Chain A
Amino acid sequence: MIEGSLLYLDGVTVSFDGFRALNDLSLVLEPGEMRAVIGPNGAGKTTMMDVITGKTRPDTGRVVFGSDTDLTKLDEPAIAELGIGRKFQKPTVFEPLSVWDNLLLALAGDRSPRFSLWARETAEERDRIEAILATTKLTEHRTRRAADLSHGQKQWLEIGMLLAQEPRLLLVDEPVAGMTDAETAQTADLLREINKTRSVVVVEHDMAFVRALGVKVTVLHEGSVLSEGSIDHVSEDPRVIEVYLGR
């Protein structure tokens, strides 16, 4: 147990048909921290996200959130309610619904059918949605169907939905894949803005983007941590150069 950590992965191992996607992975995230996780394909980045969010149960090891909540005992909705939000690699928004409704469904609050059957939009909800629309630069697109947004706008909408969820920890999987340079720069700003109030874990391939974030970097390889430190530190690490950067 690490004192005061927000997220603590302790010796997590996940095997699929004998293949070890995660191999005795340990990782500590401090409250308020932003962490970039990099690594070649198959290094276990997405599996790590799956384990934290309850989609995959580890064979061994613990995932401790906050002071003493073991996430490996909970399912996805329970973990989401604890305050862990996840952004997928491919933008995953509710395509037939409007931008506004996407955010409305994401707003923190009662998730039961009993509540949603009778729920009316409140002024407070409207204010919060307006604020998120402004942050994600989607104010003009509020009535559009999410399906009609551009790729970059969908990524932003999904980030907006995560904000609406008011998580304590945000897991972001390749947020700038397929984005233009301008959108990438804006996304880095947005993540830094979000990081002022919440902890963030960003999985990314784009080294320029990771450098722009300027945060502590964890390099995964074959399911465990290869190197950890500043971007300059890990990019000078010979093991990292060999498996990842040098190729």
Chain B
Amino acid sequence: MRDAVITLTCVLGGAALLAVLNLATPETSALHVSSFVIGLTGKYLCYAILALAVDLVWGYAGILTLGHAAFFALGGYAMGMYLMREIGARGVYANPLLPDFMVFLGWKHLPWYWFGFDHIAVALVAAMVVPAILAGVFGWLTFRSRVSGVYLSIITQALTYALMLAFFRNEMGFGGNNGMTDFKDIAGFPIGRDGTTVGLMLVTAVVLAAAYLLSRALVRSRYGKVLIAVRDTESRTRFLGYRPEHYKLVVWVISAVLAGIGGALYVPQVGIINPSEFAPANSIEAVIWVAVGGRGTLSGAILGAVLVNLGKTWLTGALPEVWLFALGGLFIVVTLFLPRGLIGLAARRRKRDEPTPTAVAAAREVTG
């Protein structure tokens, strides 16, 4: 109970506090929080949703995903399509139907898969359904064939890489190399205006809190217990009559949907979506967030995502060339000295009440 209360208080309370300090204090005040900070916070919270998704599959099902940014980016593209349609005739080419990049490519008609994306509801549904379908097909094929460990990790990496190459192509109809940007408004609210920025950040915080509660209920249910059993002793669960592939598939799809939602919230807050979001490094970063916070703890995923990205924002500003070395070093330090992450460090004094994977289990799973 305590962990959930603390987590929810930090997420919702922190977001509300920042919002108040932004809206209710004059810009000259020492307490004022700039809209730039609000925007950054919103971005971190989206990453935290992605981290939760990664922790669900890695922490509780033992699937070391190195391709989860693919689901995040797909959710982002679904939202991006809506935001492009929302621009309407305000684009450079003033075409009421076709987004600028299509006019530029000389296209005459809107591709069929763009229909309906003038409604935000369609985009939100697509941001969940498209990752779910991709994850469903991918998971069904791989889990059924009992692909696991490093092999599965490599395939997830290949998945996101393949999608990146595909989205780079202009013929795909998603803006190619440049992706989608220059958004004007979302559901009638002008993007980039202070109120909208705060609103989006608060919505993200609420969604993150809901995602956390859902994930927590999931891993504490009987299903979650079976999942932990599958993670540590997959063959034993089979001899008990469980089908591990079904258990993995369910959490894999739920996790992909969460990642998609995170991506859909991310795009209006950063103002752009392009194929670089599929870059394999993004997925690996997400795994590092979870490792830093504490794998298999959920709250650790949120903590890790926010802290590592705070560090990233600061370091890429101060010493940009050092960032990747710092990230790699962080991963090594955490793996060697903090196998249970920051949450594990904090919980070391208390008696542990929740099952979490140990470094030994992680090593065993990677080596086969």
Q: A residues bordering B, Cβ < 8 Å?
A: 53, 55, 75-77, 80-81, 85-86, 88, 92-97, 101, 104-106, 111-113, 116-119, 145, 161, 165
Q: Quote the shortest CB–CB distance from B302 to chain A (angstroms).
A: 22
Instruction: Determine if B247 is an interface residue (Cβ-Cβ < 8 Å).
Output: yes
Contact pick for A53, options B218, B239, B246, CB 8 Å: B239
Instruction: Determine if B159 is an interface residue (Cβ-Cβ < 8 Å).
Output: no
B236–A94 CB distance below 8 A:
yes
Q: Quote the shortest CB–CB distance from B293 to chain A (angstroms).
A: 19
A119–B241 CB distance below 8 A:
no
Q: Given A113-B247, A165-B240, A96–B222 Cβ distance below 8 Å?
A: no
Interface string of B206-250 (1 = CB under 8 A from A): 000000000000100111011011001101111111110011001
Instruction: Determine if B335 is an interface residue (Cβ-Cβ < 8 Å).
Output: no
Nearest B-chain residue to A118, judged by Cβ: B221
Interface string of B325-368 (1 = CB under 8 A from A): 00000000000000000000000000000011100000000000
B222–A97 CB distance below 8 A:
no
Find the residue from B239, B247, B250 having the highest chain A CB count within 10 A: B239
Contact pick for B246, options A92, A113, A165, CB 8 Å: A113
Complex interface: chain B residues within 8 A of A116 (CB): 221-223, 226
Find the residue from B221, B236, B240, B243 having the highest chain A CB count within 10 A: B240
Contact pick for B238, options A80, A85, A93, A106, CB 8 Å: A80
Find the residue from B233, B237, B238, B250 having the highest chain A CB count within 10 A: B238
B246–A112 CB distance below 8 A:
yes
B355–A117 CB distance below 8 A:
no
Complex interface: chain B residues within 8 A of A76 (CB): 235, 238-239
Complex interface: chain B residues within 8 A of A96 (CB): 228, 232, 355-357
Nearest B-chain residue to A75, judged by Cβ: B238
B222–A92 CB distance below 8 A:
no
Q: Given A96-B356, A97-B355, A113-B250, A106–B221 Cβ distance below 8 Å?
A: no
Complex interface: chain A residues within 8 A of B223 (CB): 113, 116-117, 119
Q: Quote the shortest CB–CB distance from B220 to chain A (angstroms).
A: 11
Complex interface: chain B residues within 8 A of A55 (CB): 235
B228–A94 CB distance below 8 A:
yes
A-B contact pairs, 15 of them (CB 8 A): A75-B238, A76-B238, A80-B241, A92-B236, A94-B232, A96-B357, A97-B225, A101-B225, A105-B225, A105-B240, A113-B223, A117-B218, A119-B223, A161-B240, A165-B241
Q: Quote the shortest CB–CB distance from B365 to chain A (angstroms).
A: 13
Complex interface: chain A residues within 8 A of B218 (CB): 117
Nearest A-chain residue to B247, judged by Cβ: A113
Q: Quote the shortest CB–CB distance from B358 to chain A (angstroms).
A: 8
Tell me, in angstroms, the Cα distance from A111 to B240 when the chains sit together. Answer: 9
Tell me, in angstroms, the Cα distance from A104 to B250 when the chains sit together. Answer: 21
Q: Given A94-B236, A119-B221, A111–B228 Cβ distance below 8 Å?
A: no
Q: Given A92-B236, A96-B355, A113-B250, A77–B243 Cβ distance below 8 Å?
A: yes
Contact pick for B241, options A97, A111, A113, A118, CB 8 Å: A111
Q: Given A94-B229, A96-B355, A97-B229, A111–B239 Cβ distance below 8 Å?
A: no
Q: Quote the shortest CB–CB distance from A116 to chain B (angstroms).
A: 4
Complex interface: chain A residues within 8 A of B225 (CB): 94, 97, 101, 104-105
Nearest A-chain residue to B358, judged by Cβ: A96
B236–A117 CB distance below 8 A:
no
Complex interface: chain B residues within 8 A of A161 (CB): 240
